[in-house]
Amino acid sequence: MSKKALLLNATYEVLSFIPEKKVLKLIFKEKAEIISTWGDYIVWGSGKIKFPSILKLKNYVKINHINTNFSRKMLIKRDKNICQYCNKKLFGAQITVDHVLPKSQGGTTSFTNCVISCQNCNSKKANNTPEQANMVLLKKPTHPSYSSTYFIHDYQDQWHSDWDSFII
């Protein structure tokens, strides 16, 4: 398996995975600083350096967020397996998808109208809005971030544990 470096924006926002060639180019042009490394070395001029696992750009670049289609799997990732009403950690069959504005009241199946919830909360809420059911959402549902959508689908190379804190 090949190795890549995770490229972060100047604000620590995840940008992309980049191959060795691009890593060297960014370091050579002094456009990025090394945040963490893999265990092995790569040739650097007449010497060698540890292959970076995380690089951070020195200057901020503006990025456009990509769109992703709604899926239960992505919703569970976004909500980190936590019932968005009672804060309970959920696994497998315990997880239900709740429409914040119920379908019966015109709610859509979308990232901004769906959250995961436990079966208790979902049946308590039934065909009501949180207000009607006197329940409170932990947070307002939003479209998943660039990092979570991009990386879950597209990355197949060797994983570095330092990336865990940047990628959901």
83 binds Zn ion (CB under 5 A): yes
Nearer to Zn ion, 23 or 75 (CB): 75
Binding Zn ion by CB under 5 A: which of 121, 141, 147, 150?
121
Binding Zn ion by CB under 5 A: which of 86, 97, 133, 168?
86
Nearest to 69 by CA among 155, 152, 143, 151: 143
User: Considering the complex, what minimum distance in angstroms separates the CB of residue 87 from Zn ion?
Assistant: 7
97 binds Zn ion (CB under 5 A): no
Interface with Zn ion by CB under 5 A: which range of 2-10, 19-27, 82-90, 106-114?
82-90
Binding Zn ion by CB under 5 A: which of 5, 23, 55, 85?
85
23 binds Zn ion (CB under 5 A): no
User: Considering the complex, what minimum distance in angstroms separates the CB of residue 82 from Zn ion?
Assistant: 9
Task: Give the SS3 label for residue 30.
Answer: coil
Distance CA 161, CA 64 (A): 26
**What residues form DSSP beta bridges with 42?**
49
How many residues bind Zn ion (CB under 5 A)? The answer is 5
Nearer to Zn ion, 18 or 86 (CB): 86
Instruction: List Cβ neighbours of 72 (8 Å cut-off, separation of 6 or more).
Output: 97
Distance CA 59, CA 48 (A): 26
Are 100 and 92 in contact by the 8 Å Cβ rule? The answer is: no
Distance CA 122, CA 129 (A): 11
Q: Which residues make up the interface to Zn ion (CB under 5 A)?
A: 83, 85-86, 118, 121
